Structure 1
Amino acid sequence: MLLAESEKRAGWLNRVNGRADPACCLIYNPPISMAATHKALMELIRGIHNIKPRHRGCVLTIGNFDGVHQGHHAVLARLQEKAAQLGLPACVMLFEPQPLELFAGSAAPARLSRWREKYEALKGMQIDRMLCVRFTHRFAEQAASTFIEQLLVEKLGVHYLVVGDDFRFGKGREGDFHLLEEAGRRFGFEVISTQSFQLSRQRVSSTLVREALKAGRMAEVELMLGRPYAISGRVAHGDKLGRTIGFPTANLALKRQVVPVGGVFAVEVICSGKTFPGVANVGVRPTLSGTQARLEVHLFDFSGDLYGQQVKVLLRHKLREEQKFDSFTALKEQIERDALAARAWFGLPQFHLPSTLLEKKGTQD
């Protein structure tokens, strides 16, 4: 169970709700189109072989939907509008792994969202069906005409298709938007190019989100995503070094070929419907000779056991880059400074400075 000091928790929430700057709002309020207002659950179709005759007839969009950002939201809104007009289910087709991950491996762009995170995001957006296609070399080598005729026409019975005008498919990337338009005229379905959602006259894309994440521009990331960037996972046992210096951490393995973000952040942790502020490091822990990327988060004013629990960590504000220190003592002192900085960002009361920092502060004065 999660245990917290109720008075401190209540005080923190009051400070959050009373904060004037909306860009620093600590509680994420989902849009009204989230799953709570949806009348039916999204159906997940795992693989082309699980498409049934009853699935024939839909409006469809195809893409990676990495990050499920505001550009994707605009596409999905258009899809839902057309689905309502035609009285057909709205369906999203995505590929797993993402195509570039198959072809480029570790050289592929860093993934913003794992499959589960995409599923959870799309599930809350009034989509009727999600078709997850296993992307293999065999699938990639099929003719573009086969993809259109056997999958889009025969199996899915597409009436309306929304794709990017740069969408490519089929062997040798022979299929493109114009080929889909020709097929639409032949088989009787409409093909529409996605109108790019723009923010300050700039197109919103997964690439732009990655660039902003890498640069630590978290407020910009939130605007493009429509929510704070989050990493989800199950808390695992670590080496418990943080506990020995007064900063116990919850540890999440980052199961990705390439991690899109790194450094030290002021964060919020959502677990079992409750939200806790904290400070987190995302990286390989170079001071401790680490090699595997992980997320380590320390929750403020919290007592309890998170091991084995599924949590979501919202990265709200970047404090600094990850760095290697000359000693464990130097690392400990920096962790203390990071905790102070994160508490200040959240507007939380400062804890007492550890004696090591007090001594240094005194000599500098």
Structure 2
Amino acid sequence: MSCYLTIGTYDGVHRGHLKILEILKRKSLENGTPSAVVYFPVPPKFYLSGNSKDNILTSGIERAALLKACGIDRVEELIFDREMSEMRASDFFQNIIIGKYRARGLVVGRDFALGRSREGNVHFLEKICREKNVDFQAVDFVKYEEHKLSSSLIRGLLHKGELEKAFFCLSREYFATGAVIRGAGLGKKIGFPTANLSMPEEKLLPKGVFAVKVLLGNESFKGVASVGHRPTLKTLDSKLLLEAHLLDFDREIYGCELKVSFHKKIRNEIKFSEVSALVARIKDDVESARKMLEDWKNRRLED
């Protein structure tokens, strides 16, 4: 089936992406043709550099869900591999955009490029779309603080712990989803059981202790989440882990999927000299999280 198409990484599905998607939906509606987004689960630049660890904003599943929630008719992933990296722009256009997806229209960001060494820039696309009778539009950037709003910008903000700026660029809070797995069980022993989440190593996780909202099925809970290496307890080989303590909660949820939305940072990870000092600080973290989340709820009610 033919479509109005956009193609790219779409990591994070941020405000810049949303602008492209709105134009895509409008054009597809005007022309009576379904809208389609084709995304690369691993950004081509990370595939080529091998530097994807702790750098991807949204897993393929998370990204597909966000794109579908935008009202896109068709969402598909396209795996970028060595063969594709060596494909000439003209072959990519003919074999994939026309041959595979039967695009009647193409909408992309102004900096989009395809083909070997990114040779197929918007000038190439304007020309070849005109030759092939494909409607084409390149969409101007969205800016944030005089910078182009991009996935790279948001990655930098999250790595620096500047959550509120990242949330604005995303148009929502940053989140991570994963299944609950068994950990060392020490959280429960010290009075603060945690849900340890299975997470792909590519997923970018902001480091520290956070007030979070946790979605379990259709139920929402307040919580405290820690992302770090547990320097005090030194469990699970000190590998990076996201663990969430759900407030006022007492259930076995191993194997269940949780969505953890980061709300506000409470503090950096700290190595305590004694477990008792860690327990005392966790109690403070819980109270801080309660207050932060209650203040946020009250502000929303006032708005």
Structure-to-structure mapping, 1:83-122, within 5 angstroms: 83-106=28-51, 110-122=55-67
Number of the residue aligned with 2:269: 322
The structure with the largest alpha-carbon Rg is: 1
- The CA distance in 1 between the partners of 2:166 and 2:200, in whole Å, is 22
Q: How far apart are 1:107 and its partner, in Å? A: 6.1
Q: How far apart are 1:103 and its partner, in Å? A: 1.2
Q: Which of the numbers 120, 138, 144 marks the counterpart of 2:89?
A: 144
Structure-to-structure mapping, 1:149-160, within 5 angstroms: 149-160=94-105
Number of the residue aligned with 1:294: 241
- The CA distance in 2 between the partners of 1:133 and 1:277, in whole Å, is 36
- The CA distance in 2 between the partners of 1:194 and 1:108, in whole Å, is 30
Structure-to-structure mapping, 1:1-365, within 5 angstroms: 55=1, 57-106=2-51, 110-199=55-144, 203-257=148-202, 259-289=204-234, 290-347=237-294
Number of the residue aligned with 2:301: none
Number of residue-to-residue matches in the alignment: 293
* One-letter code aligned to 1:336: K
* One-letter code aligned to 2:291: A
Secondary structure, aligned partner of 1:231: strand
- The CA distance in 2 between the partners of 1:234 and 1:87, in whole Å, is 40
TM-score (norm 2): 0.90
* One-letter code aligned to 1:229: Y
Q: How far apart are 1:211 and its partner, in Å? A: 2.6
Q: How far apart are 1:258 and its partner, in Å? A: 5.8
- The CA distance in 2 between the partners of 1:182 and 1:301, in whole Å, is 60
- The CA distance in 2 between the partners of 1:300 and 1:76, in whole Å, is 37
Q: Deviations over 1:50-85 (max 9, x none)?
A: xxxxx2x21111111111112111110110000001
| Two-structure CA RMSD over aligned residues (Å) | 1.9
Query: Runs of 5+ in structure 2 lacking a partner?
Result: 296-303
Q: How far apart are 1:302 and its partner, in Å? A: 1.2
Deviates more, 1:147-156 or 1:295-304: 147-156
Q: How far apart are 1:108 and its partner, in Å? A: 6.6
8 Å Cα contact 2:54-2:202 kept in structure 1: no
Query: Runs of 5+ in structure 1 lacking a partner?
Result: 1-54, 349-365
- The CA distance in 1 between the partners of 2:155 and 2:96, in whole Å, is 32
